[in-house]
Amino acid sequence: MPEINEITKIRRKVLTEIAQMTFEGRLQTDVENILQSVVTDEGPRYRCCVHKERAVLQDRIKSALSQPMNSTIPEAAAAALDGNIAPAPIIQVLPVACDQCPLDRFIVTDACRNCLAHSCIASCPKKAISVVANRSFIDKSKCVECGLCKRSCPYGAILEISRPCERACELGAITADKARKAVIDYDQCVHCGACKIACPFGAISDRSMIVQVIQRIKAGRRVYALLAPAFIGQFGVQVRPGQVRASLLKVGFHDVLEVSVGADAVAVEEAREFIERTKTKGGLMTTSCCPAFVGMVEKHLPSMKENVSSLVSPMVAAAMNVKKNDPEGIVVFVGPCIAKKSEAERYPGIVDYVLTFEELATTIVGAGVNVTEMTASEFASAGSKDGNIFAKAGGVLQAVENVLAQLAPDVQVAAERCEGLGNCKKCLQEIEAGKRSANFFEGMACTGGCVGGPGVLTDSRVTAKLVENFANAAPEKSAVTNPNSEPLETLGLHRHHKTSGAADS
């Protein structure tokens, strides 16, 4: 769960003001006022001066409008109001904001005793270490940051300082350039959002589509909100699902639907695919519902691409169902995931927009709606227990095993599951090397599963329990018997038609 710190407060304030201005029809004229309302002359101050604060805020506003950094704020607002989304990376470094991290990775501390052994000097392959003022000194013009000095020092007197964003990225997709600015390698990035959450300066942002969504609502289009199963508890432990639905209808959404119905279809089809693979190929099959996990396999373990299930995700399955029944409808997926924004780009005309729970919450507030004050309508989940437990770690595996127990009870499942991209990568490598034995693997990029995504509002441990309770209360307990679930074949999107690869932008 993202920490509720000053960065979070500023981000939410910006999104809320943009949403409110859009609903009230004054974004074009008033958008620059955000520079004064969020960064006041009186403070608080987080950077050197008010001018630097507002320069960073300008970039944050442009990202919130899904417009390029080289545009002016009025230009960005006009483009967003017209429905344009700039062809830019989903996650990007805000140029002005990234300048606060230490420049040197290895630093000699006061613990250095200028010992006789001088292990640091002996270990340095570039002769970058000498003794100055009775302690070791690292010549940064020669240092290649190999870390041998740190490992060799018997006192632990050499400290390694790693950037939070680099430390958070388990795939090594973000590094510092020669100017020590953070740079994202999009050939390695899978848009998991870990770097955004980790950066203590708010220098990494994902672009938002709230203005474009609000404009579609105001234009009278039939805009459907597809709620990911992790929506339970996101707006408060005491807030009931019926209140969430009522709030979105009051905001202007045409209808509110559950992605758990798409998850039911995926669970059934994934079980069938596993049965087929077991009979024909054997070996390992992995889940495909987490786009960051799929991207990790395709970009970092390409030898295992064929092991990934060929199924679309529950988001796409649910969106296809909407488009089948209402081809002119606008589909907005709402969930905890930033990587879903990247996945949606691979399905143009199916998933039109993606909002995180945080973005939806600011949209609701911007519309002047208070979720806690809404009258709760009856809300019985249209998804089964199997579809609803997709939201928590282990849920996809459990759902598939439940389906297999009904469709093919004789099929043996030797399963492994992991949370976190680093853990997933390591485990898959061990399976490929024969160090682990498994024929089914559930991979989740976020700790705790979807409930632990970068766009959530509540503690994943609490949400996981609430999701489990909600799933157990679902009228249908099995994806196999759920009459609301549409088979993927009838949607015109059978599993073998899935486009592969995580988006590179």
Asked if residue 167 is part of any domain, the answer here is: no
What would the two tokens of residue 443 be?
Answer: 């991979």
Asked if residue 126 is part of any domain, the answer here is: yes
CA distances from residue 393 to 3, 308, 358, 440, 446 in whole angstroms, order as listed: 21, 18, 21, 15, 9
DSSP line for 486-500? PPGGGGT--GGGPPP
Judge if 380 and 236 occupy the same domain. yes
Judge if 184 and 325 occupy the same domain. no
Share of the chain above pLDDT 70, in %: 95
Judge if 87 and 121 occupy the same domain. no
What would the two tokens of residue 235 be?
Answer: 């707006």
Judge if 454 and 379 occupy the same domain. yes
Identify residue 330 by its one-letter amino acid code. I
Peptide bond into 327 cis (omega under 30): no
pLDDT at 493 over 80: no
Report the SS3 class of residue 106.
strand
Judge if 79 and 136 occupy the same domain. no
Q: What is the pLDDT of residues 115-125, one digit of tens each?
A: 999 999 999 99
Judge if 88 and 125 occupy the same domain. no
Angle at 257 between CA 463 and CA 17, to 5 degrees: 70
Identify residue 180 by its one-letter amino acid code. R
Asked if residue 166 is part of any domain, the answer here is: no
H or E segment at 50? helix 50-64
DSSP line for 161-199? ---HHHHH-TT--EEE-TTS-EEE-TTT-----HHHHH-
Judge if 311 and 460 occupy the same domain. yes
Domain boundary among 149, 184, 210: 210
Question: Are the beta carbons of 438 and 414 closer than 8 angstroms?
Answer: yes
What would the two tokens of residue 498 be?
Answer: 């899935």
Judge if 50 and 129 occupy the same domain. no
Asked if residue 48 is part of any domain, the answer here is: yes
Judge if 314 and 421 occupy the same domain. yes
Q: Please give the model's pTM, rounded to 2 decimal places.
A: 0.90
CA distances from residue 40 to 50, 60, 236, 284 in whole angstroms, order as listed: 8, 16, 30, 56
Question: Are the beta carbons of 315 and 391 closer than 8 angstroms?
Answer: no
φ, ψ for residue 140, nearest 5 deg: -65, -20
Question: What number is the average pLDDT over the span 11-33?
Answer: 96
Number of alpha carbons in the 13 Å side-chain half-sphere of residue 336: 34
Asked if residue 168 is part of any domain, the answer here is: no
Asked if residue 101 is part of any domain, the answer here is: no
Q: What is the pLDDT of residues 341-373, one digit of tens each?
A: 999 999 999 999 999 999 999 999 999 999 999
Q: What is the pLDDT of residues 265-311, one digit of tens each?
A: 999 999 999 999 998 878 899 999 999 999 999 999 999 999 999 99
Cα–Cα distance measured from residue 211 to residue 15, given in angstroms and rounded to the nearest whole number: 9
Asked if residue 165 is part of any domain, the answer here is: no
Domain containing 140 — which CATH number? 3.30.70.20
Cα–Cα distance measured from residue 111 to residue 403, given in angstroms and rounded to the nearest whole number: 60
The count of domains in the chain is 3
Judge if 65 and 195 occupy the same domain. yes
Q: What is the pLDDT of residues 147-173, one digit of tens each?
A: 999 999 999 999 998 889 999 999 999
Asked if residue 367 is part of any domain, the answer here is: yes
pLDDT for the residue numbered 490: 58
Residue with tokens 């499942």: 413
Domain that holds residue 149: 106-160
Judge if 322 and 343 occupy the same domain. yes
Judge if 129 and 22 occupy the same domain. no
Domain containing 257 — which CATH number? 3.40.950.10
Q: What is the mean pLDDT of the chain?
A: 91
